[in-house]
Amino acid sequence: MSRDGGADHRGRGRARGFLYDNGLGLAFGAAFVLAITGQAIAGRAEFNSELITDGLQPMGFLAYLTSSDFAVDVTENWQSEYLQFFLYISVTVWLVQRGSPESKPVDKAGPESDHDQLTGEHARPDSPRWAAARDWRQAVYSHSLGLVMGTVFLLCWFSQSVTGVASYNERQLRQLQDPIGWAEYLGRAEFWSRTLQNWQSELLAVASMAVLSIYLRQRGSPESKPVGASHSTTGVEG
């Protein structure tokens, strides 16, 4: 094999290695782009159909992407997804589900010891630096995943309310009705209908995953117990 051929082979190996090592993130990232593009196309068609019915000018694709109608539809789903993960991350510290791979062992409820969590004096040489710290940094880093998910949830929910009132008011004006303020919108049925219809589906998905994974298996999936694991085995992923 020539030197060039060897370098080429190593290059291909590195490229294949990157794709293989990041397949989950890349595949879901690509699927996300396709799905949100499809949502924009379908959403614009539906919105334009309403405008045409009202005798108004249809909206271009770029204009629709920056419209409150599209933004509220996006953010109402985002907030509920981040709420789902925030709750799952936080609630599973304290609540367990016997037999579920989504739960930790039933005798481990709570924040656990420094020994179990590899924090403070139990931190290892390769532990993140803030895990070894004995001050506020350890406290912050110990909750960083939940804090970030919770913050993103609140930001998305706030965005839903801001874009939601704009979208609601645009419809109000089309129907020759007065617009309303942000605070009033927070008490309106539309805001809570958009919010709760997303929350209920996320909560149902989490509850069913926690319970179904006690009895059902998906060979090779880290979200499932090993196929041969007993139904009572808790906190073991395959």
Partner 1 sequence: MLTGLVLAVTATACGSPHERRDDAHAAAVRFEQALGAGRTAVLCAALAPGTREEVEQSAEGPCDRAVERDKLPAGGAVRHVDVYGDQAQAVLEHDTVFLAHFDDGWKVTAAGCEPHGEEPYQCEIKGR
- Contact footprint for partner 1 (CB under 8 A): 53-57, 59, 62-63, 66-69, 71, 75, 152, 155-156, 158-159, 162-163, 166-167, 169-170, 172-179
Report the candidate in 56, 37, 80 with the shortest Cα–Cα distance to residue 196: 80
Residues 6+ apart with CB under 8 A from 124: 118
- What whole-number distance in Å separates Cα of residue 22 and Cα of residue 32? 15
Q: How far is the CB of 172 from partner 1 (least distance, A)?
A: 8
CB closer to partner 1 out of 99 and 150? 150
CB closer to partner 1 out of 19 and 52? 52
CB closer to partner 1 out of 34 and 62? 62
Q: How far is the CB of 238 from partner 1 (least distance, A)?
A: 35
Q: How far is the CB of 79 from partner 1 (least distance, A)?
A: 10
Q: How far is the CB of 225 from partner 1 (least distance, A)?
A: 36
CB closer to partner 1 out of 114 and 190? 190
- What whole-number distance in Å separates Cα of residue 165 and Cα of residue 11? 52
Q: How far is the CB of 106 from partner 1 (least distance, A)?
A: 38
**Burial code of 79-89, b = ≥16 C-beta within 10 A, e = fewer?**
bbebbbbbbbb
User: CB atoms < 10 A from the CB of 191, how many?
Assistant: 20
CB closer to partner 1 out of 107 and 178? 178
Residues 6+ apart with CB under 8 A from 233: 99, 225
